Structure 1
Amino acid sequence: MTDEPTAADRTVHLPVAAQPSVETLVDLTRRAEDLGYERAWLPETWGRDAVTTLTSMAHGTERIGIGPSVLNVYSRSPALIAQSAATLQEVADGRLRVAVGPSGPAVIEGWHGVDFDRPLRRTREYIDVYRTVLDGETLNYDGDVFDLAGFRLRCDPPEQVPPIDAAGMGPKAVELCGRFADGWHAIVFTPEGLRDRLGDLRRGVELGGRDIDDVRVTLSLPCCALDDGERARELGAEHCAFYIGGMGTYYRDSLARQGYEDTAHEVATAWANGDRDRAVELVDDALLDDLAAVGTPDEVRDRIRTFESIDGVDAVAVSFPRAATVDDARQTLDALEP
């Protein structure tokens, strides 16, 4: 390992795919803590719920920051997310940071059975309600989506209110993060695409009359560092093809905005037609290296620095291909030790 410093903090985004047990996720978090990672983010999709798992992670560690990335703004009320944050902050002794976002129609409508309506406005109102509740104030909120009145948090609010970040991919979504949230969570971005969206973030900061240093940018980057570099790249390509082709239009459209419009539509078409091998094949070496850091440990350490050195990126979260094994994740964590 080189002792060369990096421009951004290094965190970990725990596996999005189902793991053998909650204890597996706790073990990975504990390993990340021992290796010096700054925070462990936990995704919530249609597997284990984040709040219960984060509680176990908090009890199983001592120093590492924890947080959900992301809680969607449809399946829980904004007040409930604030209640959960207050409780988790207590359990974690002040180590919590929260991230929310709209997710996408495929999950919200297909899994939760809720209309995917006004995602940006809804995210804005969640942030507003969250802060009011955790400031210990009586909740009187007259929004476009929520009309709330008469209650305040029954327990004492946390002395240190956990920051609330938001996820976003499009220009307006990222602008919203800059204007209202404490941070922006980015996913499926090329270096150039990320730089473009950072311009939208700065515009939001200006519109909100804020300081850019008060808005933390975290990039979730698919990483797989294995001695078998070819297998690592295969896992990375399959992961990217799934997000582009199998997760609705959001990731496809985001990639199209980043200069890969034809490829994004070809991958999505192949995936929709059941030709998964062709979809993976379309994620060629150039695209894979633009979206991920995968290969041998030396190759991955070199590639991750490209993203960490982007001006405006505060943290890179090491994430893992969805088909990676627990051992693959452990090897990658070890190889990318901060």
Structure 2
Amino acid sequence: MTDAVRDVFLPVAAQEHLDDFVSMSEHAERAGYERVWLPETWGRDAVTVLATIAARTERVGIGTSIMNVYSRSPALMGQTAATLQEASDGRFRLGVGPSGPILMEGWHGVEYGNPLRRTREAIEVVRLVLSGETVEYDGEYFQLAGFRLRHDPPETPPPVDAGGMGPTAVELAGRFGDGWHALLATPDGIAERMADFRRGVEMADDDPEDRRVTVSLTCCALEDRERARHLTREHLAFYVGGMGTFYRDALARQGYEETANTVAQQWASGNKDEAMAAIGDDLLDDLAVAGTPAECEERVAEFAGVDGVDAVAISFPRAAERADIEATTDALAPR
């Protein structure tokens, strides 16, 4: 048994209607999940979606995982966090991170440099905004003076987490954030990075028990086992092969360097079937949870049982249909 709670990581893929995200969140709330997380990619913006979810739910927490620190100023992120905390009656948690250069430079036209420093400064500024005091900040990327909320700050400021995959990024999450969001990690990989996280917490002279570690875990639990594994394999191939070097590097650090390079090369060459085929069953089962409901429940418990993990966020393959998402949500709901 484990004390780790279960969250839902709402689909990365754009849905047909805004109401789809809302109904998924209502479904998660009824099923007993603690929180729904929403990434901000190239679909609907996270703030509008989460505000709508907050208005239509009563208990389930809401959070961003992640809101990137390049497309919004840290002062605006602080305002947003304060507003969503108010809109949700204290149920909001802010997850931030730097994303990657392909997205930031190609989509937002923002130069991508020293992402860890920028993330640190963004977290510090957000906290200053949430304090309600006048913000005076002199950093490498942000120099601010005179900004202050024109309304009362949240009575309980929302926690600010950081996403991270490499050792230094995870250490930063422990040192400056209220928690760490792990992604594309094996159980052994999570345990290895946990040492970096705890080192960061020690540098902050804080207690790891006061921080929260959330693992985003791609899951597909279907009676049709082959479909579940196909969807999940395609999802992993897309991230390792088509989303820049961060995911490939993370996979290499966890002992799969040759496979990571093969997937990336095949995907870049347009050989998507070959890229998927390079992800063998062992790797599929080390990174994700895919199969029948019974075997998936057992595998989720293994990730939740890693020492230091506080929450497992049930995520879904990007090509999963609504029926797949609902079946997986029900199959892996908290017992």
Tell me which of 73, 87, 91 is aligned to 2:87: 91
How far 1:115 moved relative to its partner?
1.0
2:327 is aligned to 331
**Residues 94-243 of structure 1: pairs in structure 2 closer than 5 A:** 94-243=90-239
Separation of aligned partners in 2, 1:287 and 1:111: 31
Superposed CA RMSD: 0.7
1:253 is aligned to 249
Runs of 4+ in 1 over 4 A off after TM superposition: none
Tell me which of 78, 81, 100 is aligned to 2:74: 78
Write the deviation string for residues 99-133 of structure 1: whole angstroms up to 9, x where unpaired: 00001111111111111111000000011001111
How far 1:208 moved relative to its partner?
1.3
How far 1:20 moved relative to its partner?
1.2
Separation of aligned partners in 1, 2:169 and 2:60: 29
Separation of aligned partners in 2, 1:308 and 1:7: 8
Write the deviation string for residues 269-311 of structure 1: whole angstroms up to 9, x where unpaired: 0000000000001111000000001101001101111100000
SS across alignment from 1:149: strand
1:58 aligns to 2:60 (yes or no): no
1:295 aligns to 2:291 (yes or no): yes
TM-score with structure 1 setting the length: 0.98
SS across alignment from 1:97: strand
Tell me which of 296, 313, 319 is aligned to 2:315: 319
Letter in 2 for 1:246: G
1:47 is aligned to 43
How far 1:7 moved relative to its partner?
3.1
Write the deviation string for residues 186-238 of structure 1: whole angstroms up to 9, x where unpaired: 00001111111001001111111111111100000000001101100000000
Tell me which of 13, 19, 28 is aligned to 2:9: 13
Separation of aligned partners in 2, 1:177 and 1:87: 23
Separation of aligned partners in 2, 1:110 and 1:292: 29
Q: What stretches of structure 1 of length at least 5 have no aligned partner?
A: none
SS across alignment from 2:188: helix
Separation of aligned partners in 2, 1:242 and 1:212: 34
How far 1:56 moved relative to its partner?
0.6
1:309 aligns to 2:305 (yes or no): yes
TM-score with structure 2 setting the length: 0.99
Q: What stretches of structure 2 of length at least 5 have no aligned partner?
A: none
SS across alignment from 1:174: helix
Separation of aligned partners in 1, 2:320 and 2:181: 22
Letter in 2 for 1:137: E
SS across alignment from 1:140: strand
How far 1:329 moved relative to its partner?
0.4
How far 1:54 moved relative to its partner?
0.4
Letter in 2 for 1:119: P
